[in-house]
Structure 1
Amino acid sequence: MHGDSRSAERYITDWLPLAENRNVVLIAPKFSKEFYKEYVYLMKSNKKGRTISDPSLDLENSLGLLFDFFSSKLKLTNKSFRLYGHSGGSQFVHRYLLFSEELRIDKVAMANAGFYTFVDDSKKYPFGIKGMRVSDDRLEWFLRLKAGVFLADQDNDARQSNLPSMRKVRKQGKNRLQRGNNFFNHLIKLGKDRNISFRWRYQIVQGVAHDNSGMSAAASSFLLEDL
């Protein structure tokens, strides 16, 4: 899943050598700025939390529909799919996991998100889940999923031009590295509080900054290890 650059083609290019000789189909959807400016929030709100009230734009089931389409078109027999997102794509992916009803996802890697939606019903979306529908069953599925948070050790520039810098976001940390670490610790606590086995992986990728190519190489070892 692409970031704010919408460079889906480049993401496919980065992943092609990583998936060589693997029995996988790579799909990189592209949500245009013209029609899906706020795609990272699933088109449910803008970055300030102002609700988008057009249900026809809601993306909470978009990937399941894409999976159905390509399964039919390519005559695929597998019953599940995996997700990878970098930067804005990582924002999209973790929110999709929370708010979609899709259960056919069996493994996920999220890299270098600008900020996160915490499972906190005192904070308005997209910073928390106040006013959003997230069932206990969905949260349990979310925490038990085979997922990973991948963070670049050099993605630590608090002044990077494309780093989300709203006041509510800065409370999550000064940079992407801090924010990802704080989000992961939040999920650990959530799992303990709810007595749910937390299965996610946490990995710091050395020698990489805010770069999809470097993060893809690390994430692919996790996503494709059993294929």
Structure 2
Amino acid sequence: MLHTYRSASYEPGKDVVFVQHGMLRNGDEYRDFWVPAADRHGLLIVAPTFSNEAFNGPENYNDGMVRDDQGQVTPPETWIYRVPALVATALVDARVIAPGRARIFGHSAGGQFLHRMVSLVGFGPFAAVAAANAGWYSLPTLETPFPAGLAGTGADKARLKRLLESPLHVMAGLMDCEAAADNLPSQPEAVAQGPGRLHRARNYHAAGKAMAGALGCGFNWRFTEVPGVAHDGRAMSAAAAGIWFEGRLPEAAALGAGPETVNA
């Protein structure tokens, strides 16, 4: 399912933002988080939505259907990480959007989805990818099995170098740091990455930098910590919009964040 919003001033050739929802499979709400930015900047918003009925559990969304019920890696053409690119390509072919104008943002489970998408299938048609407040990460290593690492997926050193040299943007709310936060992944591999989402994001970025040094390749990831924001999809959407379309993080009041606000 696609949830979309077209601002009154949007026309093909302007920017398009794809949005990946969190574990609540609430693509309609994530689309709405981007409506203020769409109206300010003349954007089209496209939120691919994977229902829990059809894609039950994290293994069938966050983990992209990369493994089957027995834990075996499935054929790459069946991974749902390919879906956003297929949608973007179809919209280009239909002349709804122009080539090279699409960006994609994901929060929480959507952040898990996006960094794994980039790890395994690349940026595709997207000019920018921002993964925010992911619960845990597939570390850039070929030694640890997926989803804690990339081993067993067919990824090789060339794929790893492309990942590290890509402009992947990792975002984390400075207040999204609670070890007992709701819906925080708690399997041993996740806990080993840090007590909270902020710590795990820092760990992921540091692991990428270290791996780039070990491989002798470039490291082009960007890492942004957003002050005053916890696990808040609306506020992190506003932060990403500010960076992308205004060149800066918005002021705290514009983020609309509060310590009790949670959007999964």
Same-fold call, TM cutoff 0.5:
yes
**Residue 55 (structure 2) pairs with residue 36 (structure 1):** yes
Q: Check whether the contact 2:21–2:47 (CA below 8 A) recurs between aligned residues.
A: yes
Q: Matches of 1:49 and 1:102 in 2, distance apart? A: 29
Q: Matches of 2:235 and 2:131 in 1, distance apart? A: 13
- Over 3 Å counting, the alpha-carbon distance change for 1:115 and 1:219 in structure 2 is same
Q: Check whether the contact 1:109–1:147 (CA below 8 A) recurs between aligned residues.
A: yes
Q: Matches of 1:186 and 1:64 in 2, distance apart? A: 27
The correspondence for 1:157, drawn from 145, 156, 178, is: 178
Residue type of the partner of 1:119?
P
Q: Which residue of 2 aligns with 1:127?
A: 148
Q: Which residue of 2 aligns with 1:175?
A: 196
Q: Provide the aligned C-alpha RMSD in A.
A: 2.2
TM-score (norm 1): 0.90
Q: Matches of 2:158 and 2:123 in 1, distance apart? A: 12
**Residue 33 (structure 2) pairs with residue 14 (structure 1):** yes
- Over 3 Å counting, the alpha-carbon distance change for 1:56 and 1:79 in structure 2 is closer
Q: Which residue of 2 aligns with 1:4?
A: 23
- Over 3 Å counting, the alpha-carbon distance change for 1:181 and 1:42 in structure 2 is same
The correspondence for 1:217, drawn from 223, 226, 238, is: 238
User: SS at 1:82's partner residue?
Assistant: strand
Q: Check whether the contact 2:88–2:125 (CA below 8 A) recurs between aligned residues.
A: no
User: SS at 2:112's partner residue?
Assistant: helix
Q: Check whether the contact 1:109–1:223 (CA below 8 A) recurs between aligned residues.
A: no
Report percent identity of matched pairs: 29
Shift in Å at residue 101 of structure 1? Answer: 5.2
Shift in Å at residue 103 of structure 1? Answer: 3.1
- Count residues with an aligned counterpart: 225
Q: Which structure 1 residue ranges, 5 or more long, are not aligned?
A: none
Q: Matches of 2:125 and 2:157 in 1, distance apart? A: 18
User: SS at 2:200's partner residue?
Assistant: helix
TM-score (norm 2): 0.78
Q: Which structure 2 residue ranges, 5 or more long, are not aligned?
A: 1-19, 248-264
Q: Matches of 2:126 and 2:231 in 1, distance apart? A: 26
**Residue 114 (structure 2) pairs with residue 104 (structure 1):** no
Superposition pairs for residues 53-64 of structure 1, below 5 Å? Answer: 53=74, 57-64=78-85
